[in-house]
Amino acid sequence: MGAAAPNDVAYTYLPVLDRRFSKQVRDNVHGNIFLDPLCLKFVDTEQFQRLRDLKQLGLTHMVFPGAVHTRFEHSLGVYWLASEAVHTFATHQGNELGIEHSDVSEVKLAGLLHDVGHGPFSHLFEKAFLRRSVFRSHEDMSVKMIDYMVDEHNIDIDPGTLKNVKEMISASCEHASLSGVKEKRFLYDIVANGRTGIDVDKFDYIARDSRACGLGCNFQFERLMHSMRVIGDEICYRANDYLTIHKLFAARADMHRTVYSHAKVKAIDLMVVDALSKADQYLGISASIQDPSQFWKLDDSILKRIETDNSPELKESRDLILRIRRRDLYQFCNEFSVPKDMMDKFKNVTPEDIICSESQKANGNGITLSTEDVAVSIAKIDLTRGKNNPLESIKFFKDYESDDKFPIRDESISNLLPASFQDMIVRVYAKKPELVEAVSEAFENYQRKTLGETAQVHETPKKRRFLTTSRVVST
């Protein structure tokens, strides 16, 4: 059966937004955003307003000064794009898909609240600081926080709606189970798409982040938003949009390489993780992750709290934050990209691996490295599916007259598309400027032992090595 004729369009499924009870917000990416009454009940809470104090890109603004946007505007943006997406389906396929008012409300609310459980400093908090804890993901905390907000503020919401919203938020998590979803599975792919990786969350943050950082973006999400279609309970895309989808994944990977995993950004991240770790026992930062009533009080201001607290227990943390303020950062020594044929079996590099490769020359200069002298950052960049091509999981259709959906292979489109879909970059830093020479040589020795050669493509800057030598001599 082909697409519905114009007179079959299900406009009756579109909820009418009463302007008397809605709020208009001007967004610098999407223009005018209209918040409906149910969403406003959540927005006008201290838990949601906390997102104003969480920078979307964590500490990236210390390298890209314009990146000061927050989780608050990103959440409004995802809310709006989720609304636009479900309205597109309702307009063109409402009768066919059985979209109801409640479906529209659930998708919009999931978009609004998907990051309400985020910790400080973007993903650094959960992936680096809390890496050894039972905290699985910010999506899990978002689900807990939503329950807390409903109870704390006596928000009148249907239990079934609440359940669906929480499942939509956690849909892309590795441990998520949607086995109980028997119909309208496509609704769970709008905000966080665990099936294909194409969702409005990415649409918003790629556009918003690249704009804030002053970078261009050749991916235009509007094209996909206007042409996507549901076939067999799955969101599909026009065959001639194949390269547009490739640009989505390529733009995301480019942002990771250029911005999110920038060498200076990672140096600052490493220092903040060390500062939080040293302050944790005294401040009980990690203890808050089990209790939403305490977790919502945690935001980016934790650094200022440490910085201005004169407690002796926080001295080491204060000193690290002061070094960041004065731009006395951990010194980048070098990096290499893990060879493709070693990627699957590559063992994560640790400071112990580096100091075990320390050269005799360093020992001869009276330098003996310890694990506290070295920091290692491993940046894993892919196109959302690890070593696999994400486009292989996406279904396409020829035109709106056909209900057939099918995959497309890269070689059917172009021979210029990538043959590899994952990168792993190992970076090593010296925590003290005078140790750059010793750490750099140890890192080079490690590469020779592990890879049989030095895989780094450039030398450690000579001015750093010279500075290192002069400091050691002067002491």
Active site residues: 138
Place of tokens 């590899």: 420
DSSP string for residues in 136-199: --HHHHHHHHHHHHHHHTT----HHHHHHHHHHHTTTSTT---TT--S-GGGGGSSS-TTTS--
Nearest to 86 by CA among 182, 14, 174: 14
Place of tokens 């208009």: 24
* 209 sits in which H/E element: helix 200-212
Rounded Cα–Cα distance for residues 117 and 112 (Å): 12
Do the strands 422-430 and 396-397 form a parallel or antiparallel pair, or are they unpaired? unpaired
Place of tokens 């020992």: 363
Burial 211-231, CB ≥16 within 10 A → b, else e: bbbeeebebebebbeebbbbb
Q: What is the DSSP letter of 126?
A: I
Residue 89's identity, in one-letter code, is F
Residue 232's identity, in one-letter code, is G
Q: What is the DSSP letter of 55?
A: B
Nearest to 300 by CA among 60, 464, 80: 60
Q: Report whether 92 contacts 105 (CB < 8 A).
A: no
Strand order in the sheet with 396-397: 229-231, 234-238, 396-397
